[in-house]
């Protein structure tokens, strides 16, 4: 380097060399750019082994933002000083473009640290390097995050029109995937409130904001004022400095805010750098503007190091010197091209991560950290690398959702419906959730205990579950979820396809179907002439004719036979020839009456012919009286049930009995949308019937069933509940469909998976079945046993005597084993099965297994085949068992045609447990 030192041009041997920094925001209380350059210079100069005897001196020039004339003037002041590079500015795109052009003409390296805000030119100056990540990379990273969260609908808020060009890759992905991306532009007033209201009305849950950090923060504050900063919205900010904004006013644990960062906090100098900036702000400013180093200050720091590294490498291969340049001449810096080549080969770890450039002068081989807002600030949940793409830590994201539920108060909308939610008897004396009781209240307590959240129960305003209106809005609980007025809808809310389009549902916590509820038709009360009911009028008429005929025959036969004529004074025989006949017309009529009434009479037949007539009459009366007695006892002691309909087809084929559903419920929607012909006819009837056959509540429907000729179409669970509490109600036919009750949530709820797992846990622990028994059982009416169950029961008992019926079919079977002590003689249990069709034949095999008794009993009672029956079996097989054997085993195998699915099984026995087993 001696020759260079002796030459006229100053060489980088021992004299200071100067990169120039142009700052458009040099205030100490702003971004801290001046301080960052000073820190970089001092740190480099304290390590002389890197540059030998040379030192770094940075000239700092200030200019007004986007002032083209002042920018050109400043560059004309910088060039004569003989600088080796120009750094900045950080927030003036127009000024940066002018500086890039001038540096290109003079072949002086220029470092950009500002984000791109204009369309990319086909030709970019060779001397320009951009340390700021490109908008293309940010666009691809945002697209990757949306794809990770399976987001198909989003809204993009742009502060400037150029954002559509900057985020071209993001727009292309939505076009390719045919997902929905709505773009909204801030107007000249820069007030985002009207725009946010439109987004809220559109029910868009994912919002992408492409603006500077200050405007992004303003948009978020306005969203908080509109109630849009909650768990049901996801905000993705493209600005790399957004995580530095103060979020004290947005400390909602449930808010889902995602952003990107490029800071390398593991750098050895990062903490010292951040502390120096923070100390400077505290000493010289009224407030600390950022929670950490500004991105532009860190990029300027890295730019100084990149220049130093390149100059050091270039100085090892050749002696270079700086040369004063002028705006008025065509001279260029002869070492500029060489320095640019070395700058493009620079690889180092800076405050903003890995620093490396591609052939176009853009930053490459770096990673964007993906940050998520938590109660303790932002934390990293993944990263996007230029080469490797997106890498997310799902555990951290899921734990944030779970943590956000902790001690969070959720608003629960519901509706008064027995037994799901009811007011306590003394609810006037209570407040809040304590006023309510029921199945849903108990289930909420169980879920809150598992997920550790609080809740506030609020009754829905209009008292309906939710149906769509003509204008597209929804009523009831569904409408409140759509409007984000509630976090959960916990009630007998049916999961339907139409509702699933506008809200989210948890996994079903109860399975059911639509059923028909009708009143029990009882026979009329006994009247004064009810004794005539055992026989029809025709029987009574023929009995009267038979009585008259027998009386006449008896009178005539008695007159003709000489043996019925006798002397009334047998002692005066011979002196008196008077003969009499006891079967006068009156006696002939009276004698059958005495026999009919089984009281007899003083008249006794004397002749064989009259005795034959009397015997025939007595035999006739014996049969008649026996039949009458039996029928009369049945009529007087048994209330015969007369059901005019037996199935849904019978109901649809008649008009005498009205039928309807709850207005606005899922049952009404089922008939409205059904394509089955019978159900379509029923819907047309219900829709056109006047006065309306729809009811507002279940209680109104039950009252209408009991007080009029009306059949109520409702869920089978409610049917079962009310039938157990009113013996005048019965279920007609089977289930019309199969569906489930679920917990409703707004679309995009981050709590959905957590509630799904909690419901599955309650089902596995049998807690939901226990709660159902608690609120459904205990009615005053015994459970009904269908006539099919009786027939099957008799056939099953009869089949125990046979080994196998002909032509068996291959069907699955279920065996239930009940282990008993040897002293157990009576065992009682309940079995529940899904809807099945039993197909004969069935096989009954007798096997011996000491200590175990196996039974299979199918009771097809209720229409949804919730098979509940109590069977009492006394073990009286000792005579057929060998001596020493204490117990016997019976196993019944039932063949069937349809798929057999076991439902939750309830078992009650004196000793032992019932174990179900499915055998293919």
What residue numbers does the annotated binding site for L-glutamate cover?
A: 494, 499, 666-667, 715
User: Cα angle vertex 403, ends 397, 407, to 5°?
Assistant: 155
* Angstrom distance (rounded) from CA 162 to CA 119: 7
Place of tokens 């400095």: 241
* Angstrom distance (rounded) from CA 799 to CA 809: 16
Give the relative orientation of helices 68-78 and 93-106 as an angle to the nearest 10 degrees.
40
Cβ atoms of 276 and 386 within 8 Å: the answer is no
* Angstrom distance (rounded) from CA 698 to CA 700: 5
DSSP sequence for 647-662: SHHHHHT-SSSEEE-B
Measured CA to CA in angstroms, residue 470 lies from 466, 467, 473, 474, 910 at distances of: 13, 10, 7, 9, 59
Preceding peptide of 19 cis, ω within 30° = no
Cβ atoms of 666 and 739 within 8 Å: the answer is yes
Cβ burial, residue 453 (10 Å; 0-12/13-18/19+): buried
Task: Give the list of residues 6+ apart from residue 201 with CB closer than 8 angstroms, or none.
Answer: none
Q: Which secondary structure element, helix H or strand E, spans residue 189, and what is its range? A: none
Annotated binding-site residue numbers: 494, 499, 666-667, 715
Place of tokens 């009523």: 475
- In total, the chain counts a number of residues equal to 920
Phi, psi of 213, rounded to the nearest 5 degrees: -60, -40
Task: Give the list of residues 6+ apart from residue 237 with CB closer than 8 angstroms, or none.
Answer: 209, 216, 257, 258, 259, 260
Cβ atoms of 854 and 815 within 8 Å: the answer is yes
Q: How many CB atoms lie within 10 A of CB 214?
A: 13
Give the relative orientation of helices 439-451 and 767-776 as an angle to the nearest 10 degrees.
160
Task: Give the list of residues 6+ apart from residue 184 with CB closer than 8 angstroms, or none.
Answer: 155, 156, 157, 158, 195, 198, 199
* Angstrom distance (rounded) from CA 604 to CA 684: 74
DSSP letter at 875 equals -
Phi, psi of 322, rounded to the nearest 5 degrees: -95, 155
* Angstrom distance (rounded) from CA 346 to CA 85: 15
* Angstrom distance (rounded) from CA 232 to CA 205: 6
Task: Give the list of residues 6+ apart from residue 804 with CB closer than 8 angstroms, or none.
Answer: 841, 843
Cβ atoms of 154 and 207 within 8 Å: the answer is yes
Cα Rg of the chain, angstroms: 47
Phi, psi of 109, rounded to the nearest 5 degrees: -60, 140
Q: For 202-257, where are the alpha helices, taking DSSP H only?
A: 213-225
């Amino acid at each position: 380097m001696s020759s260079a030192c002796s030459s006229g041009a100053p060489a980088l041997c021992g004299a200071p060399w100067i990169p120039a920094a142009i700052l458009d925001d040099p205030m100490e209380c702003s971004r801290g750019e001046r301080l960052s350059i000073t820190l970089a210079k001092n740190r480099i100069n304290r390590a002389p082994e890197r540059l030998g005897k040379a030192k770094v001196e940075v000239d700092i020039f200030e200019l007004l933002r986007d002032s083209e004339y002042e920018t050109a003037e400043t560059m004309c002041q910088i060039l004569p000083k003989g600088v080796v590079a120009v750094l900045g500015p950080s927030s003036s795109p127009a000024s940066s473009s002018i500086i890039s052009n001038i540096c290109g003409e003079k072949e002086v390296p220029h470092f950009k640290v500002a984000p791109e805000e204009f369309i990319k030119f086909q030709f970019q100056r060779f001397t320009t390097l951009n340390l700021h990540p490109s908008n293309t990379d940010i666009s691809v990273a945002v697209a990757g995050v949306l794809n990770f969260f399976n987001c198909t609908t989003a809204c993009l808020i742009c502060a400037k029109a150029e954002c559509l060009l900057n985020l071209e890759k993001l727009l292309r992905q939505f076009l390719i995937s045919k997902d929905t991306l709505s773009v909204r532009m801030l107007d000249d007033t820069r007030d985002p409130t009207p725009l946010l209201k439109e987004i809220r009305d559109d029910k868009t849950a994912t919002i992408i904001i492409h603006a500077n950090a200050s405007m992004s923060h303003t948009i978020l504050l306005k969203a908080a004022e509109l109630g849009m900063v909650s768990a049901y919205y996801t905000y993705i900010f493209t600005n790399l400095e957004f995580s530095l904004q103060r979020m004290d006013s947005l400390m909602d644990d449930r808010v889902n805010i995602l952003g990107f960062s490029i800071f390398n906090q593991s750098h050895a100098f990062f903490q010292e750098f951040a502390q120096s900036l923070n100390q400077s702000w505290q000493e010289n400013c009224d407030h600390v503007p950022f929670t950490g180093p500004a991105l532009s200050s860190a990029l300027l720091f890295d730019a100084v190091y990149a220049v130093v590294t390149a100059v050091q490498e270039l100085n090892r291969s050749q002696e270079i010197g700086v040369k004063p340049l002028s705006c008025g001449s065509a001279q260029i810096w002869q070492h500029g091209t060489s320095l640019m080549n070395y700058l493009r080969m620079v690889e180092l770890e800076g405050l903003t991560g890995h620093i490396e450039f591609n052939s176009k002068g853009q930053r490459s081989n770096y990673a964007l950290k993906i940050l998520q807002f938590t109660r303790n600030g932002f934390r990293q949940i993944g990263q996007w690398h230029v080469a490797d793409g997106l890498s997310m830590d799902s555990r951290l994201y899921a734990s944030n959702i779970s943590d956000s539920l902790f001690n969070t108060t959720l608003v629960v909308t519901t509706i008064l419906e027995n037994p799901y939610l009811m007011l306590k008897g003394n609810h006037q004396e209570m407040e809040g959730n304590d006023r309510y009781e029921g199945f849903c209240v108990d289930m909420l307590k169980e879920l809150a205990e598992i997920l550790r959240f609080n809740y506030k129960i609020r009754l829905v305003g209009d008292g309906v579950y939710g149906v769509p209106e003509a204008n597209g809005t929804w009523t009831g609980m569904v409408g409140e979820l759509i409007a984000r007025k509630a976090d959960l809808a916990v009630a007998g809310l049916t999961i339907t396809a139409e509702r699933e389009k506008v809200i989210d549902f948890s996994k079903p916590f109860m399975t059911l179907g639509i059923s028909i509820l009708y009143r029990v038709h009882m026979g009329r009360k006994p009247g004064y002439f009810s004794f005539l009911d055992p026989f029809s009028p025709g029987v009574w008429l023929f009995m009267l004719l038979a009585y008259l005929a027998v009386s006449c025959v008896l009178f005539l036969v008695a007159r003709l036979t000489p043996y019925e004529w006798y002397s009334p004074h047998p002692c005066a025989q011979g002196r008196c020839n008077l003969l009499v006949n006891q079967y006068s017309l009156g006696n002939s009529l009276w004698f059958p009456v005495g026999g009919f009434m089984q009281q007899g009479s003083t008249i006794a037949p004397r002749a064989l012919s009259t005795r034959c007539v009397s015997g025939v009459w007595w035999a006739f009366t014996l049969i008649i009286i026996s039949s009458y007695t039996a029928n009369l006892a049945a009529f007087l002691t048994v209330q015969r049930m007369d059901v005019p309909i037996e199935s849904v087809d019978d109901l649809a084929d008649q008009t005498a009995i009205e039928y309807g559903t709850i207005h606005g419920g899922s049952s009404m929607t089922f008939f409205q949308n059904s394509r089955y012909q019978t159900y379509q006819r029923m819907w047309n009837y219900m829709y056109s019937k006047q006065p309306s056959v729809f009811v507002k509540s279940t209680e109104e429907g039950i009252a209408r069933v009991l007080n009029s000729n009306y059949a109520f179409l409702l869920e089978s669970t409610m049917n079962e509940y009310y039938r157990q509490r009113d013996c005048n109600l019965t279920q007609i036919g089977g289930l019309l469909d199969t569906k489930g009750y679920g917990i409703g949530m707004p679309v995009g709820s981050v709590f959905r998976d957590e509630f799904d797992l909690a419901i599955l846990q309650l089902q596995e622990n049998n807690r939901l079945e226990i709660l159902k028994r608690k609120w459904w059982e205990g009615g005053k009416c015994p459970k009904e046993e269908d006539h099919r169950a009786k027939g099957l029961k008799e056939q099953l008992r009869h089949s125990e005597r046979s080994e196998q019926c002909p032509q068996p079919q291959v069907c699955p079977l279920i065996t239930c084993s009940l282990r008993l002590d040897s002293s157990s003689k009576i065992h009682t249990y309940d079995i529940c099965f899904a809807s099945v069709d039993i197909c004969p034949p069935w096989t009954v095999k007798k096997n011996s297994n000491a200590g175990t008794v196996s039974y299979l009993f199918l009771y097809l009672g209720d229409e949804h085949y919730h098979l509940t029956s109590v069977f009492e079996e006394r073990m009286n097989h000792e005579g057929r068992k060998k001596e020493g054997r204490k117990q016997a085993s019976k196993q019944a195998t039932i063949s069937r045609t349809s798929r057999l699915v076991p439902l939750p099984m309830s078992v009650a026995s004196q000793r032992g447990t019932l174990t179900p087993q499915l055998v293919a």
